[in-house]
Structure 1
Amino acid sequence: MISVLGTGVAGLCAATALTERGLPVEVIAPEDAPAPASLLAGGMLAPFCEGESAPAVVVSKGQAALGWWAARMPGVVRRGTLVVAPPRDAAELDRFARATQGHRAVSPADLEPELAGRFARGLHFPEEAHMDPRAALAHLRERLVAQGVAFREGGPRGGIVDCRGLAAASHLPDLRAVRGEMLELCAPDVQLTRPVRLLHPRFPCYVVPRGGGRYMIGATMVESARPGPVTARAVMELLSAAYTLHPGFAEAEVIATGAGLRPAFPDNIPALRHAPDRTHLNGLYRHGFLMAPVLAEELAEALPSPSSKDLTHAH
């Protein structure tokens, strides 16, 4: 038996990859565990855009996540990512283009007509995709339950795959928290069909359509372990950026706000780490939905056989 600790994107991806190889799996999370930070994610599968600041390994390995999710999740939308910048910040767009690959220069209005007259230039990353992270996690859980995987409280009964994020900090002393904040708006007067990243030298943001006139606006990145609700500063900055992208957001209803603490290693690269009593899948930083499937598959491939009962032999 393999006991997967955690029900966020890391835990559910790990349980899925292991179960698909015929391994006996259970998922453990106490009732009083905090909600997974991945529930607040943008749900963007954007490996090429992440190349602006992420290490090359995230860009190269993260591309596998596109097919992984599309094969298991019916709601993956593959319309790419559009990146724009206000005319005064045109240098930001040039910088972004130099730092990334997999894009082509476009007129933003050709892809999103409602942006006509607001942005003269843009970059389109056609291979990227997006999905609703809450729906994705719910769907993975339903698949696992249908395959006979038990979700329960209590202690582990077999080899441990620890996917608890910051709750595993006592085992991972170099793990740190990075606070992220987001808004969800209902803006029926705005019609965008793909994620749009607005570049800005101080507070860049992205807007992800959720369907039904709903949009996720995110996300701040603050080197802080402070828990608690969204700050007024974050709300003002995110709303200002959304309005810069499309004035229709001025009439939007704020239907949800959220703040979460992302787990990160010093190099910001998600990783598998092996200890004598467990294997950690952690440090997902801002790359949870992009890198969790990749690491889950690497973990499953490292196991010697479906009959293995001891993860410590999979090093």
Structure 2
Amino acid sequence: MADVTVIGAGVAGLWAAWACAQAGLTPRLLDRTGPPGPHGCSWWAGGMLAPFCEGAVAEPAIVTHGQTAATAWAEVTEVTHRGSLVVALERDRGELDRFARRTEGHETLTNTVQDLEPDLPGPRSALHFPAESHLDPRRALADLVAALAERGVAIERTSATPQDIAGPVIDARGLAAALPGLRAVRGEMLVLRAPDIHLTRPIRLLHPRHPLYIVPRADSVYMLGATQIESADRRGVSARAILELLSAAYALDPRFAEAEVLETGADLRPAFADNVPRVIRRGRVLHLNGLFRHGYLMAPALAQQAVACLTTGQKGDLVHED
């Protein structure tokens, strides 16, 4: 018999089930499409655990809770601790200065970027955030699924809703939960193979029109992202997005022009007005939602607060009553 039913097996639902198991509860995990895959926005994430960089535009709660993410993820999957770099072309140096004023936890590099990334072309100024990390999202999802399986928790493929289930429920269905105030934010990204380029940490290129992040994967593979459009359009990646992302990557390193395009992807991220995820308690149902672009950064903290609320009634700062 399950102590709690978790609906949704994206990054939020998997972490909710894992946090329940860690707290001594027996979770039941349901998802209408089964295990994670290209059908969900968790599949298309960059995997940057970069709370200080996100602080340039995010609320303080993202920076505070995001700092615990790398430690939490390291318990279930491989996390690369090499920091992150934020760079700008010389003509956009003002963007870098503004980013520096809005963030903390960084050191300024001037003509010494190659000490960290020898393969990054040209002298340029940058901000180095040494405490940040990154992971491979798809491997992380698979490792979480495997960790749950070792606890006897399998993903059941079913279209159940909270109304179909008796007892405590954690609803982590994202946009499918149709919560008041929840909106869709479209993101588009590319996956490239560039064997001539050797980067070891995430690079953010500040650009007044087309900001870009590049996250290294194994085997010379890179994730390029991401557009951010207030839209619920579920079509595939647009030609405009491909042009913008590749143009920005070319500006960073012209060798990306010769890269092999492996995948293109588009997803809809659920977000509240302030872009801060939350746990919304409605009777016996706890809704984990609104992860926006902070899914891997905030899922551990959100899940832990949900389980604390469920087991002890404790209300953390991410828990809201409805």
How far does residue 288 in structure 1 lie from its aligned partner after superposition?
0.4
User: Contact conserved, 2:121 with 2:253, CA < 8 A, in 1?
Assistant: no
Tell me whether 1:111 sits opposite 2:120 in the alignment: no
Letter in 2 for 1:257: T
State percent identity of aligned pairs.
Answer: 54
User: Contact conserved, 1:7 with 1:36, CA < 8 A, in 2?
Assistant: no
How far does residue 158 in structure 1 lie from its aligned partner after superposition?
3.2
Deviations 1:214-265 (A, max 9, x none): 0000001000001110000000000011111111111000000000000000
Letter in 2 for 1:13: W
Tell me whether 1:10 sits opposite 2:12 in the alignment: yes
Deviations 1:171-193 (A, max 9, x none): x1210000000000000000001
How far does residue 113 in structure 1 lie from its aligned partner after superposition?
1.1
User: Contact conserved, 2:34 with 2:156, CA < 8 A, in 1?
Assistant: no
Tell me whether 1:166 sits opposite 2:170 in the alignment: no
How far does residue 276 in structure 1 lie from its aligned partner after superposition?
2.0
Residues in 2 aligned to 1:159 and 1:71: alpha-carbon distance in whole angstroms: 26
Which range moves more in the overlay, 146-155 or 31-40? 31-40
Q: How many residues align?
A: 304
After TM superposition, the structure 1 = structure 2 runs for residues 1-315 of structure 1, keeping only pairs within 5 Å, are: 1-31=3-33, 35-73=39-77, 75-106=78-109, 107-117=112-122, 119-154=123-158, 155=160, 156-169=165-178, 172-304=179-311
Task: Give secondary structure in 1 for the equivalent of 2:311.
Answer: coil
- Specify whether residues 142 and 157 from structure 1 end up closer, same or farther in structure 2 by C-alpha distance, changes over 3 A only: farther
Residues in 1 aligned to 2:156 and 2:289: alpha-carbon distance in whole angstroms: 21
Residues in 2 aligned to 1:70 and 1:99: alpha-carbon distance in whole angstroms: 28
Which range moves more in the overlay, 55-64 or 176-185? 55-64
Letter in 2 for 1:86: L
How far does residue 207 in structure 1 lie from its aligned partner after superposition?
0.3
Letter in 2 for 1:88: R
Task: Give secondary structure in 1 for the equivalent of 2:192.
Answer: strand
Gaps spanning 5+ residues in structure 2: where?
313-320
Task: Give secondary structure in 2 for the equivalent of 1:82.
Answer: strand
**Structure 1 residue runs of 4+, over 4 Å off?**
none
Letter in 1 for 2:118: P
Letter in 2 for 1:181: E
Gaps spanning 5+ residues in structure 1: where?
306-313
RMSD of aligned Cα (Å): 1.7
User: Contact conserved, 1:2 with 1:157, CA < 8 A, in 2?
Assistant: no
Which range moves more in the overlay, 105-114 or 52-61? 105-114
**TM-score for both structures, normalised by structure 1:** 0.93
User: Contact conserved, 1:25 with 1:150, CA < 8 A, in 2?
Assistant: no
**TM-score for both structures, normalised by structure 2:** 0.91
Residues in 2 aligned to 1:230 and 1:51: alpha-carbon distance in whole angstroms: 28
Task: Give secondary structure in 1 for the equivalent of 2:275.
Answer: coil
Which range moves more in the overlay, 76-85 or 146-155? 146-155
Residues in 2 aligned to 1:158 and 1:28: alpha-carbon distance in whole angstroms: 14
How far does residue 19 in structure 1 lie from its aligned partner after superposition?
0.5
